[in-house]
Amino acid sequence: MNAATIFGLVASALVGVGLYGLVANPQPLRKILAFNVIGSGVFLLFGAIARRGAALGLGGDPVPQALLITGIVVAFSATALAVTVLLRLYEETGRTTLSSDAAPPPPRPEPPPQPDRIGA
Amino acid sequence: MMPDAFYVVPALLILALGVYTTVARDTFAATVGFIAYGLLLTVAWVQLQGVDIALTEAAIGGGLTGLLLVRASAKLRPTEGAARAERPGRPTRLLAAIMSGAVAAALALAVLALPDPAPTLAPEAIANIGPLGVGNPITAVLLAYRAMDTLLEAIVLLFVLIGVWSLAPDRAWGGRPGPRYNADPDGILAFIARVLPPIGIIVGVYIFWVGADAPGGKFQGATIIAAMWLLVMMAGLADAPPISRRLVRVLLVAGPVVFIAIGCAGVATAGAFLAYPDGWAKPLILVIEFALMPSLALTLGLIMAGAPERTEAP
């Protein structure tokens, strides 16, 4: 077994782990996280395939490697947009549930604490 | 057997952290796990001979995405209790596990059945690299063979920033993104935010510059510079600019506009959109890179800063 096969197999497992997380975790943020795990699995699989295309002294096929760089940046963009939508939803409703059962909205919450404010 | 262990150990650690990120009870812990996971993936990329990808993964995949998720999970902590009650029942989870396992198994079989010898475009990439004047074949792909991808990628980032801004509440439209950070001016954070940026900016520009011939490039460099800017903002040393400021908007679109203009000029001078006339490839690639880099750094920094939350007054 070479590096490409080993990481290819781990990549397949990561796609499975991410898919499970997407279904099993109810929090939207966990779903975004799981989506990123699936994404990194797909990237790693593609990277293993790029490694197999090594030729002429290059460590891998440069075309998929370049596409991977583009892919990682686009995955970050999508994640940033999804997280911002989620934070806005929380700001508006005080909840982040995706459940379709119409639970009564909770009383307007206190302004959410901002733990990332340093030292205040 | 030794070389195998060299690959198997990081591979298993990555898998273990991927599982931890998915099953950890606490969302904050899961996001911290994701950062470690991103850093370990960097090792995997180096072992797969993709040093350019390793740099991107460390800067964007683990770094920026990780920061975004950790910050969001800290903000959303009050919703954790309610979410636990929504956890699907055991039969659903079992079914999900079986289906995901089936997908993973199918992929694994495909990995084991990959054709040998593997198809590759490396010879074509190398054969045409001479006239381009760049030594790094990945840069050649990004800015010559598949320049369209890179153009669209820069525009996707811009669209995401517009999307993020459009989520601002009406009263804050045109104002400054994120909270105003007030760190202790004599504290360690403010100290680091004064000492690190000069070094970080040099590292960022270096990674950008060597991208022509060695692993690196504008996205990786721009991310490092954006990270330095975020550090300065989070230490309270500088405030985020109001998004209605004209200079900010001009800088944001300058890179893509130059890229599109050079692309259109290619129609007249070389017969195709984004084609370079003979002998002009290297200078034009440099112009595109120099124009894109500040726009990318600003776009990434502002995406991380988030939607406007305050009116324009500081």
B286 in the same domain as B241 = yes
Q: Is the pLDDT reported for residue B7 higher than 60?
A: yes
Q: Is residue B178 part of a domain?
A: yes
B111 in the same domain as B45 = no
pLDDT tens track for B60-72: 888 889 989 998 9
Average pLDDT value for residue range B222-250: 88
- Closest by CA to B305, choosing from A29, A89, A90, A84, is A84
B91 in the same domain as B187 = no
The answer to whether B231 contacts chain A (CB < 8 Å) is no
Q: Do B195 and B189 touch, CB atoms closer than 8 A? A: no
B220 in the same domain as B204 = yes
Give the CATH class of A3-93: mainly alpha
What's the rounded Cα separation, in Å, for the pair A28 and A43? 22
Distance (Å) from the alpha carbon of B163 to chain A's nearest alpha carbon = 7
B144 in the same domain as B107 = no
User: Any idea which residue has 């300065």 for tokens?
Assistant: B232
Q: Is the pLDDT reported for residue A117 higher than 50?
A: no
Among residues B102, B119, B136, which one ends one of the domains? B119
In chain B, the number of structural domains is 3
Residues in Cβ contact with A88 at an 8 Å cutoff, skipping those fewer than 6 apart: B167, B307
Q: Do A59 and A51 touch, CB atoms closer than 8 A? A: yes
Distance (Å) from the alpha carbon of A33 to chain B's nearest alpha carbon = 7
Distance (Å) from the alpha carbon of B172 to chain A's nearest alpha carbon = 13
CB within 8 Å of chain A, chain B residues 161-200: 163-164, 167, 169, 179, 181-184, 187, 189
What's the rounded Cα separation, in Å, for the pair B229 and B298? 9
pLDDT tens track for B8-34: 888 999 999 999 999 888 889 999 999
Q: Taking CB atoms and an 8 Å cutoff, what residues of chain B touch A41?
A: 18
Average pLDDT value for residue range A42-55: 87
Q: Is residue B81 part of a domain?
A: no
pLDDT for A119: 44
B185 in the same domain as B67 = no
- Closest by CA to B237, choosing from B196, B178, B194, is B194
Q: Do A89 and A100 touch, CB atoms closer than 8 A? A: no
B155 in the same domain as B106 = no
**Tokens (6 digits) for B142:** 């990004």
Domain with B43, as residue range(s), is 1-76
Q: CA angle, corner B128, sides to B154 and A2, nearest 5?
A: 80
B197 in the same domain as B154 = yes
Q: Measured on CA atoms in the order B273, B277, B281, B284, is the torsion positive or negative?
A: negative
Q: For the whole model, what pTM was predicted?
A: 0.87
Q: Taking CB atoms and an 8 Å cutoff, what residues of chain A touch B103?
A: 15-16, 19
pLDDT tens track for B190-200: 888 899 999 99
What's the rounded Cα separation, in Å, for the pair B227 and B84? 34
What's the rounded Cα separation, in Å, for the pair B136 and B152? 21
pLDDT tens track for B157-179: 999 999 999 988 888 888 888 78
B213 in the same domain as B64 = no
